[in-house]
Amino acid sequence: MRVVVDLNRCQGYAQCAFLAPDVFAMHGEEALLYDGEPDGTRRLDVLRAEAACPVKAITVEGAGAAWTAAGAGVSNGP
């Protein structure tokens, strides 16, 4: 499983760190650290984090979930 966070989009909302604390961690109030290749036991946590990210900054590959392939944050504004 591969996880990529678009750190330009990321707003430090920490939703990911709440739902997958073994994969995402907040460093201080804003900066995000994460494991780009978590093992399979974290699959559901990672899928929850991806869905919960308010700005859709997280992309997950190889988690066997059809819906994750279709476009993280494609809309930036009006």
Partner 1 sequence: MTSVALLGQILDYANRADPYPLYAELRRTPVVRDESGPYLVSTYWEIHSLLHDPRVSSDIRNLAPEAKTAPRTEDPDLPPSFIRLDPPDHDRLRRLIMRTYGPPHAPRRVYGLRGEISGIVSGLIDRFQGRDRIDLVDDFSYPFPVTVICRLLGVPQEDEQRFHGWADTVATAIEPAVGTPEEQQAHWQAIREAHHQLAEYLSGLIAQRRRAPREDMISALATDRGADESPMSLPEMLSNLTLLLIAGHETTVNLITNGMLTLLRHPDTLKQLRADPDLVIPLVEELLRFEPPVQLLPERTTLDDIEIAGTTIPQGASLWLVPASGNRDPRRFPEPDRFLPDRPDNQHFGFGSGIHNCIGSPLARLEAQAALAELVRRLDNPRLVEDPPPYRHNAVLRGPRHLPIAFDGLSR
Q: Considering CB distances under 5 to 8 angstroms, the limit depending on partner class, which of ligand SF4, partner 1, none binds residue 47?
A: partner 1
Tell me: does residue 5 bind partner 1 (CB under 8 A): no
Q: Give how far the C-alpha of residue 69 lies from the chain's centroid of Cα atoms, to the nearest Å.
A: 13
Q: Which of 6, 35, 52, 59 touches partner 1 (CB under 8 A)?
A: 52
The interface with partner 1 within residues 23-42 (CB under 8 A) comprises 25-29
Q: Give the nearer residue to partner 1 in terms of CB position, either 4 or 44.
A: 44
